[in-house]
A and B are shown apart, each in its own frame.
Chain A
């Protein structure tokens, strides 16, 4: 009989086979960890040209301190970008890198701040130029107070109405219970204590 090929490969005992397997596995894991660590670049290298810059989106300029300034971010988060995205200037310029509006609006905020204007003055300047809709939320005055307060007031009024209604219902239930004909004695074969126990047990039943 011609020996099959796999028969020829089974000249390894089980212990040796398992040892080889375990060694290989550890080897792979060790080389993987080593490989990840080695791939990191040390130091800064030259920034070479990429083959197709156009497909990488709009060309960006180097980030400045003003781009990450928390004070400017706080102002820009209150002002809406005019590109139609519905986002604030800060979120738009750091999210939609194709937007051509938000970088200009950001520069406008920085320019106004460098003129010495306060945050409120910058916001007022934007409102004067673009109208009230440039604000991410309506100013809390005049009719807009209705906008802010109505939902909470409506819930409070409805809660008051609900409490009054519930009181009326519970009183009506009490009156009905009092007016109900008395249960003839002897129809219930249980003491009040037993009934209370039954009520407690029923409360524990799955609802």
Chain B
């Protein structure tokens, strides 16, 4: 099977090269035979890479430990669930997974793109073939997943225990899907530049893809946060790790694009900017991959250092130079169709929104790369950790939250003063009222006050928009209000789905602010002894150590500690926290013992219990007890954000905005006035 897999990689490489050459040549010369050939090459490449993935997965399931990758990341007693995820648990397998999914997306782009946008497809085939061929070449020349060992170990090393968590089964592929799917909008952008068809058409063709990519990145980031919270045991979900930052960067740029694209669709403005955003998001996705795989910056996520990083660096530089040149050469063709009419307009607010998104992305990138810059300029190595990022990014994040509320309240083209008063009165009063309540209640954390106060403001804007829309339907069609709300969302999914995403963002910001009130303690307890901890809401929690038990599970020896939890003297539940010593099929230890956290999650706060270890091998246990306020709302906010994104993405639901623009009501109104 490995030979077949290796041959499939070579086949994908050759077919990919062919698809790139025929796609570019066919597109530029208008030769339909070459264009057809490029399209077929995309399908063939997907077939070859899917076969290679099946071969590697087969080797994993057969426990063929003569294959270096299988021996390095699996063992005989690894649960089946994780045998699936072993495909992307290591560097080499994840490259294969990446290339396969990219070729799948490339094939879907060829199949699903409507006839109106056919002119772009040869170039899209060529660009996707170039990118996928690059990934295949990395495997063939630097990181072959089918490499064989000179001997066959009795058992494999097994999977890192921290990866043996459901979150880790879904977090990497979701992020990969997000990263990978950015290639399709990028390919359409390059196709638009090459074909000089730079009108709004290419945006319409990629709108769904950009949303898919944004949504996958969001889900990947959220699952990653959840995994970090439940698995790593430090009681947080975001540490500004370079690789976390690398995933956040393209998401921020894509979010900016999803807003600014509306201006191009409605007003024919920002053509240069939108192209730059799509190209920038893709380059950042490759940059993130380079960071993860090069080890250039220390990170908990880094794969083992290998020459793979140099491949990515060269690819990044070449792709950056080539796309910049192409972009610069087409700038004269990218003049705006319309002019901005007022500083106080939806367009202007979107521009400031874009400024903040890109500013935030720059700030995160700057902090991530600052250690390298500092060493280069000052000759001093520095660490850029959470204190730096929080100081620099929180003000920008809060400004963005404010714009989340302001943007939807300002009319397109030109907002009048009465219009502004009518729109802002209720939300502004609501925000100030929330702030006042918090101050009276004794809250003095500036960041939390701002986040929750602005959250109140944005929530009021969203409710106001829903309320006005639904009551208009109620008046016009006599629909009951709940039905009017449902139809309102159903008929204009993009707008109201977007507002639901805004609500998700509000919930996330409020939940993030809860971490300012985190409390924790450490205690050593004998069975029956208790430790107490006061929550920010004034309740006293008592944690009583019940005892330790040890038992064998499928691929590990478990040391479990049980803790009874009481709130203000009343028993509320029991938590279990574990130490797990993973073993291979022969009973040999594979990794250092890992910790499983005990969590009791509630709307107000999470109780988070970690077994540190045992004293002198007895039942006397060292614990860390933490109370994390509002964490449940992070996950709920994530659900709301994803639900909003899915509503926007769902097909149907009224004509696309571009058709209204083409109808040109704005122009007609102008001529009348």
- Give Cα A148 to B389, complex, Å: 9
B-side binding surface: helix, strand, loop or mixed?
A: mixed
Given A48-B619, A86-B300, verify A151-B383 contact (CB < 8 Å): no
Contact with A along B590-618 (1 / 0, CB 8 A): 00110100000000000000101111111
Query: Quick one: which of A45, A155, A167, A207 contacts B343, CB cutoff 8 A?
Result: A167
Query: 0/1 per residue, A58-95, Cβ < 8 Å to B?
Result: 11111100011000000000101000111110010011
Taking CB atoms, residues of chain A closer than 8 Å to B381 are 131-133
Specify the chain B residue showing the minimal Cβ separation from A203. B411
Q: Which residues of A contact B366 (CB under 8 A)?
A: 147, 150-151
CB-based contact A173/B614 at 8 Å: no
> Least Cβ distance of A63 to chain B in Å?
4
A175 to chain B, nearest CB (A): 9
* A: interface residue count bin: 35 or more
B351 within 8 A of A: yes
Residues of A within 8 A of B239 (CB): 86-87
Decide: A98 near B352, CB < 8 A? Known: A60-B614, A86-B239, A137-B385.
Answer: no
Closest to A206 in B: B492
Question: Closest A-chain residue to B269, C-beta based?
Answer: A169
- Does residue B557 face the partner (Cβ distance < 8 Å to A)? yes
Q: How far is the CA of A159 from the CA of B571 in the complex (A)?
A: 55
Cβ of B419 < 8 Å from any Cβ of A?
yes
**Contact at A202–B669, with CB atoms within 8 Å?**
yes
The answer to whether B595 and A97 touch across the interface, beta carbons within 8 angstroms, is yes
Interface string of B356-383 (1 = CB under 8 A from A): 1011001100110011011001101111
Asked if A63 contacts B362 (CB within 8 A), the reply is: no
By the criterion CB–CB under 8 Å, are B669 and A203 in contact?
Answer: no
A195 at the interface (CB under 8 A from B): yes
A176 to B411, CA, bound (A): 22
The residue in chain B whose Cβ has the minimal distance to the Cβ of A161 is B355
A138 within 8 A of B: yes
Residue A20 is within 8 A (CB to CB) of chain B in the complex:
no
User: Do A155 and B419 touch across chains, with their CB atoms under 8 A apart?
Assistant: no
Contact of B234 among A50, A52, A91, A138 (CB under 8 A): A91
A122 within 8 A of B: no
Tell me whether A151 and B382 are in contact (CB under 8 A): no
A195 touches B544 (CB 8 A): no
Closest residue to A36 on the B side, CB-wise?
B571
B91 CB to closest chain A CB (Å) equals 19
Q: Is the CB of B359 within 8 A of A158?
A: yes
Contact between B396 and A155, CB atoms less than 8 A apart: yes
Contact of B306 with A by CB under 8 A: no
* B550 near A51: Cβ-Cβ < 8 Å: yes
Give min CB distance, A144 to chain B, whole Å: 7
Whether A37 touches B359, Cβ cut-off 8 Å, given contacts A173-B339, A195-B672, is no
Of B359, B557, B593, which is within 8 A of A154 by CB?
Answer: B359
Interface centre among A87, A147, A162 (most CB of B within 10 A): A147
Contact assessment for A147 and B374 in the assembled complex, using a CB-CB cutoff below 8 Å: yes
**Distance (Å) between the CB of A7 and the closest chain B CB?**
45
Q: Are A138 and B615 in contact (CB under 8 A)?
A: no
* Interface flag for A115 (CB, 8 Å): no
Cβ-based interface call for B528 (8 A)? yes
Kindly state whether residue B392 has any CB partner on chain A within 8 Å. yes
What's the nearest-Cβ distance from chain B to residue A181, in Å? 10
Known: A57-B593, A143-B378, A195-B672. A94 touches B495 (CB 8 A): no
Asked if A105 is at the interface (CB within 8 A of a chain B CB), the reply is no
The answer to whether B613 and A94 have CB atoms under 8 Å apart is no
Q: Interface-forming stretch among B21-29, B31-39, B282-290, B517-525? A: B517-525
* B interface footprint on A171-207 (CB within 8 Å = 1, 0 otherwise): 0111011000001000110101001001100111011
User: Across the interface, which residues of B come within 8 angstroms of A44, CB to CB?
Assistant: 526-529
The reply to whether the CB of B66 lies closer than 8 angstroms to some CB of chain A is: no
A116 interface residue (CB < 8 Å to B): no
Residue from the list A46, A47, A173 in contact with B341, Cβ < 8 A = A173
Known: A40-B571, A47-B526, A57-B593. Is A188-B672 also a contact (CB below 8 A)?
Answer: yes
Q: Which residues of B have CB within 8 Å of A206?
A: 469, 491-492, 495, 654
In the bound complex, residues from chain B placing their C-beta under 8 Å from that of A190 are: 672
State how many angstroms separate the Cβ of A149 from the closest Cβ of chain B.
Answer: 9
Question: Can you list 29 residue pairs at the A/B interface with Cβ under 8 Å?
Answer: A39-B574, A44-B527, A47-B526, A48-B619, A50-B548, A53-B614, A56-B559, A57-B559, A60-B612, A61-B615, A62-B620, A68-B523, A96-B233, A97-B612, A97-B613, A133-B382, A138-B382, A143-B378, A147-B384, A151-B396, A154-B359, A155-B359, A159-B352, A162-B351, A166-B351, A173-B339, A173-B340, A183-B672, A206-B491
Name A residues whose Cβ lies closer than 8 Å to a Cβ of B: 36-37, 39-63, 67-68, 78, 80, 84-88, 91, 94-98, 131-138, 142-144, 147-148, 150-152, 154-155, 158-159, 162-163, 166-167, 169-170, 172-174, 176-177, 183, 187-188, 190, 192, 195, 198-199, 202-204, 206-207
Known: A60-B613, A144-B382. 16 other contacts (CB 8 A): A46-B526, A46-B527, A50-B619, A54-B581, A56-B550, A62-B615, A132-B382, A135-B383, A138-B384, A148-B392, A151-B362, A152-B363, A159-B355, A173-B341, A190-B672, A195-B673
